[in-house]
Amino acid sequence: MTQRVIEITSPSFIPEESLAAGADPARLFTRECPLALEIGCGIGDFIVQRAKQQPETNFLAIDIYNKGCHKTCKKVDAAQLDNVRVARLEARYLLTRYLPRECLSAIYINCPDPWPKKRHRDRRLVNREFLQLAFHSLRPGGDLYFSTDFDDYAAQVAGIFPSLEGYRNCLSAPCALELPGYPISKYMRRFLDQGQPIHFVHYRKKEGCADAVPLPAVAQGFRVRWNRAENE
């Protein structure tokens, strides 16, 4: 059964057709500030809290689900936040087609689909190729935050970073069970209230890193089929 697509008329919503490949993303906002990206904004709990914490940062929040984008926009508008824009896009598609290199001050990935069955784990968003792609998108000194309620997913992601040049760990261990000041969404709170921990990974792109290598080959998203002609 096909779900009804909700029309989103919020001024915070950015339709894909309004994005021009390689254009300056600062034009999406009323003032020029560092730009951060949340991948998988869900219903907007995290991004509203973070945008309030950091009013001098612009945030682009994306999700592949229409309903999530709609709910996020409603929260953003209710909070009267002018430093958040929302788009319905797949992360790899956005990073490879619409955002220029080294334009992001931070990337947030909170509790993405863990694909818990072993035979499905190659569908997980965060893998070596994705972290290389994120490296290209982050400016020097930019932060990458990853959180998950699945300990094996956290261990997998934390285990990839040491093999990648140009990142440094901002924690005293590969993973942490809390990050002071980090917003906790309703989804995270549900697990914490049940005694199930959230695992955090936090790495930073080193200053002065050379970033002249081509973009890595990135697999298409499992749920989003990209136009084949665009990949030829």
Residues annotated catalytic, as ranges: 113
The set of residues, in sequence order, having a beta carbon less than 8 Å from that of 36 and lying 6+ positions away, is 50, 54, 57, 58, 59, 60, 104, 105, 106, 107, 108
Helix axes 151-160, 128-137, angle to 10 degrees: 60
As a whole number of angstroms, the distance between CA 192 and CA 198 comes to: 7
Cα separation, 130 vs 51, in Å, equals: 25
- Residues, the chain, total? 232
Residue with tokens 């901002």: 170
